[in-house]
Chain A
């Protein structure tokens, strides 16, 4: 993985553009898809936290998948969910401790963040640069989500 998400909650206005960008990027046959990113209330005044998949190294979702539908993409570093292989048993949805495998009710699918193939739309469209997709540098360790 060469890049990672950098979140600066101080800049986040909770405008939910990231959610829209995600949803439109993952549209299926013209119908907008389930968002994989959730700007949520951080519990303090004007504090928003965009919650998105961390692509864990030892991921619970990968471990929970009994049919090997979840695999790490060596190019993007994302854990990709192969929809063709997924049997919709919901094990990953239940297992992820961050709630980042979600159900797309409209299309009856299980979905998770795939980093948009290497260029995440959420970060791309974030108007305040609260969410950035930056190269990994040791110094930029602020709040890395």
Chain B
């Protein structure tokens, strides 16, 4: 059905809302990437299978929803029973029938499946009460875990596309831009450029053709915020894009998604078709004379294609290499035309701002960093997952209150923000408010919102080595400082890890890092040495330990450590079983012996030993 005017949309919303309310009880199965990996699809299938032969009053298979990422991936697969928000964690297929019988039919809770924060038997029933959710403010991720993946009816029922109706029926392009500017929305992709200013610049340039591109090339290791939105709530992105297009006067848009996100591609495509069918996208949107089409452009997964100019080259079908942006891409972007490029999260936030107003948005966050930011909290933190907090929330709150602290209560060592080219911040920086400017000042960056927590078993030199290695491979290889400079920095860091470096090398690393920052063409090279510089700044003693004492304090760098078996050994033979080089010998019940000559320091014995008898020295 093609909607001819905003009024029809309002009527439709009422209809869909009523349809939603037919079922007082709903079962939401999280089908985000994390839960899918731990078997959510099987659980959903089981639900459908069981429900087929059952008749329950006030409930049917239609009230079963496969939602986008709910965020608490650590505890997946997640099943939530609405309206009371009963939160079942780590659900297995064998639990399904019990959930249907107990929770859905009788309205009782199954204690065993509830979330237990400390593993001590104390359990929390509703997810609103769980610390992980309690401290979050969700705007961009608001619909995730609430509606079925790319279901336009549910999206409309929740008030979706109302912002679009509002701008088409009652707002002028300049008003939209003013509203976005007033809200202080800054690009969520990393650099934090004011979205309103970008739109205004684009609108001012005289041109027949303008493009709006959504950057969904999320390449940071461990980051999946954009993926979750694209998979779970694609209509929010489409709505944001149409509003942006209306504001800047564009008629063609692209969504650039990496090929590694196949579900995102499928869901976005489906969403585009649904929106086009309803007249919310395509020609004469909502009966107006404004037309806007969106195409999906799939990237081959190069990290550098997240950089705006490389992305536009890639969309145009050329080699994804950045160009110097002395003329900005908003002026001369895709096919040399003015182009607005915004990140997934930014665009998903736009409809909310239009609906609720800039003043409401400004109240969240800090003065210069309004609103919220989504992070994927990963690493050695208890509650890994997808979170969204108000800007200016401290790292401590994120890691300890939401993240639940470090696994096994080990000491916190560092947190890496901003993806591979972000920096590592130490404990002294834990009270740093998380926003664009503070993070940059501290030698890291916001990036797209990856957050990797590290404990004392992490060697910071090794971390720098890992990220530099990543960047050496992911650099496009166009400019020399980035291609060769990062390679040499990596080589130098490897020297430190292997205990072959001198203190002069440290100086050389610092100097070369600065040269790479000045000399590189794009943001990748300009921020590439960040992990090295920030670890050298905050963890210099660790570098010196590698260099002077030939010692890796965290016990990670293979060349500098030896594994030993102490007298706590119970002779369980577990280590003997995993040792690939047969370096460990011994009989059951006797203390095992490790032959250093044969040991390759793979650490398998260390990982498998339950008695703390394999030690690193």
Decide if A and B touch, CB cutoff 8 A.
no
> Chain B: residues with CB nearer than 8 A to chain A?
none
